Amino acid sequence: MTKKYSSYSQTEPTHLEHLSPVTSRRNSLEEPPLRKFDDIVAFEQYLKDETWDNEFDYFHLKVNYLPPFVLHSIHDNPEKIKPTMNSRSRKFVRHLGHHIKRHLLSEINYYTGVNYNFEKAVVEHRPDGSILFHLHDYSDHGYGEETDKYNRHWKVDLDVMCNPENPYVEVDMKSVPV
């Protein structure tokens, strides 16, 4: 019998106490490359790895996943998804707002090692029935003078969208130097 090892590293995320100079292997004038993920675990792992590589201010990520409150209500069985679990349900939207505020943002802060100060979400109801939660952080992320010392100013945009067809949530996170 052989052991199956996870492809994800088991190390704890690094909390950034101090900034360091920008790596020379990227061109900050270009848009960061888009990376897509199928599950939240791979997304979190990538955030952790980018902090480790000192690239936390230059990425564009998308992840499509079932939020934990949906998985809990269907007991991890996708066949039990109800047709009302989508953006047309006020209960679903309310639970999604709580998930973003209490879980997703804190996990992003934990895995990036940066204390982002996301402002209150701007909720946009679109004509096609989808709902977009837009959050951003254009502050100095708690580093003050260090951002000037290393010229490491960056902004983070986070869009969370749910649609009227299914309970999957799409997260689009973009971090670019300013």
In the chain the domains, ranked by start, together with CATH numbers, are: 34-177 (3.40.1000.40)
Query: 148-167 pLDDT, tens per residue?
Result: 787 788 899 999 999 999 99
CA 100 to chain centre: 9
The one-letter code for the residue type at 139 is: S
pTM exceeds 0.95: no
Q: Which two tokens stand for residue 140?
A: 């100095």
Q: What is the DSSP string of 1-64?
A: --PPPPSS--PPPPP-SS--PPPTT--TTSPPPEEEESSHHHHHHHHHHHHHTT-TTSEEEEEE
pLDDT tens readout for residues 61-94: 999 999 999 999 999 999 999 999 999 999 999 9
Residue 92 tokens, joined? 């679903």
